[in-house]
Amino acid sequence: MTQFAIQARDIVRTFRDGGVKALDGVSLNVPTGEVFGLLGPNGSGKTTMVRILSTILAPDSGSATVDGKDVVTQADAVRRSIGLAGQYATVDENLTGFENLRMVGRLNHLTKPVASERAHELLAQFGLSDAGARPAKTYSGGMRRRLDLAAALVAKPPVLFLDEPTTGLDPQSRQDLWVIIEDLVSTGVTVLLTTQYLEEADRLAKQLVVLDQGRIIAEGTPASLKAQLGTTVVAVTFTSSAEANQHVGLIRDLTTNEPNIDGSIVELTVNSGPAVAAEVIRRLDTAGVTVAGLALREPSLDDVFLNLTGHKAEVAAEPVADAPAKRKGRS
């Protein structure tokens, strides 16, 4: 149908307590049938954006459509087009896996037999058939997330909101969930994914925006963002921070960005890691400077943030008004 499954224009949302602007003019165009990533640290406004788009919260100003329907004036129609799953895995602990899915089916207005059938189908699809008769409180973290995701899919919605679906999961469960999400997208579902992990956005999202303190600070494909940043971080450890500051000039021109000095460590984000590393050693050796350590690593979300905002992700991590399950910052 429409080219964009989700469109948002200048969404602003302020929370009453303290007047914190959780979202400050955010606009999005999410193409139909793709995974769109919303990247940012805690408190950047990701969850608030998802809550607005899923009709849980109304924006103060701005407008948005999901599956062509307005989230404020056609909220009920939007609710029939979406599924919502997230890090809080809001399954009912006292109900079994089957009962949870059947309940959501009934509340999505499926008839009793259809809701039961769909519940069994989803349990099988998510490898939960054996656990289907057990109360959800006996489930592991990974099983809980899968059940939560299954619940979001009961009504076969064309648009799916996944709010930090893998936060707090072990690497294997995370991998499993990624595969499930990829399978879903191959069936034509549009996914808005929020995450704190660059790796996750990189693996799943075709396009992404980076949010910081309620504003979009970067957008593009994961590749373009990383290219902008450099693909590798070369971390040089000097014997002291004085040494680092004294000798950084020797290697400054090896990166197009400004080197980041953190105590005795100097970090350069570059495109050709090994070549730069070799050059760093050659130059410092020639100058007779002792190097305590040298490492190459993939850029992290921290690096993206540092590069884009000049501050580390954790510094921005104010858990204000962005916690849905907790009662803080509600309105």
Partner 1 sequence: MSTTTLSPISRLRWAFSDVMTVAQRNLLAVFRVPSALVFVIIQPVMFVLLFRYVFGGAIKAPGSSYVNFLIPGILVQTTVFGAVGTAIGLAEDLQRGLIERFRALPMARMAVLAGRTISDLARNVLILVVITLVGFGVGFRPGGGVVAYVQASILMLLFSFCLSWGFAFIGLAAPNSETAQAMTFPLIFPITFASSIFVPVATMPGWLQVFARNQPVSQAAEAVRGLMLGTPHGNSSWITLGWALLAIATLGPLATRRYRRAA
Residues that bind partner 1 (CB under 8 A): 51, 54-56, 69, 73-77, 79-80, 82, 84, 88, 90, 92-95, 99, 103-104, 106-109, 135, 151, 324-327, 330-331
Q: Of the two residues 15 and 238, which places its CB atom closer to partner 1 in the complex?
A: 15
Q: Of the two residues 111 and 290, which places its CB atom closer to partner 1 in the complex?
A: 111
Q: Provide, rounded to whole angstroms, the least separation between the CB of residue 72 and partner 1.
A: 10
User: Distance between CA 231 and CA 115 in Å, rounded?
Assistant: 47
SS3 204: helix
Q: Of the two residues 94 and 239, which places its CB atom closer to partner 1 in the complex?
A: 94
Evaluate whether 229 touches 302 at the Cβ level (below 8 Å): no
Q: Of the two residues 39 and 160, which places its CB atom closer to partner 1 in the complex?
A: 160
Q: Provide, rounded to whole angstroms, the least separation between the CB of residue 135 and partner 1.
A: 6
Residue of 149, 235, 150, 246 lying closest to 193 (CA atoms)? 149
Angle, in degrees to the nearest 10, between helices 171-186 and 141-152: 20
Q: Of the two residues 141 and 274, which places its CB atom closer to partner 1 in the complex?
A: 141
Q: Provide, rounded to whole angstroms, the least separation between the CB of residue 164 and partner 1.
A: 13
The one-letter amino acid code at 147 reads L
Query: How many residues in total does the chain contain?
Result: 331
Q: Provide, rounded to whole angstroms, the least separation between the CB of residue 116 and partner 1.
A: 13
Q: Of the two residues 82 and 209, which places its CB atom closer to partner 1 in the complex?
A: 82
Q: Provide, rounded to whole angstroms, the least separation between the CB of residue 50 and partner 1.
A: 10
Instruction: For strands 207-212 and 35-39, give the pairing.
Output: parallel
One DSSP character per residue, 145-199 reads HHHHHHHHTTT--SEEEEESTTTT--HHHHHHHHHHHHHHHHTT-EEEEEES-HH
**49, 153, 222, 283 from 31: Cα distances, Å:** 17, 20, 15, 48
Task: Mark 266-289 as b/e (b = at least 16 C-beta within 10 Å).
Answer: bbbbbeebeebbeebeeebeeeeb
Q: Provide, rounded to whole angstroms, the least separation between the CB of residue 104 and partner 1.
A: 7
Q: Of the two residues 55 and 232, which places its CB atom closer to partner 1 in the complex?
A: 55
Q: Provide, rounded to whole angstroms, the least separation between the CB of residue 67 and partner 1.
A: 12
179 phi and psi angles, rounded to 5 deg? -60, -45
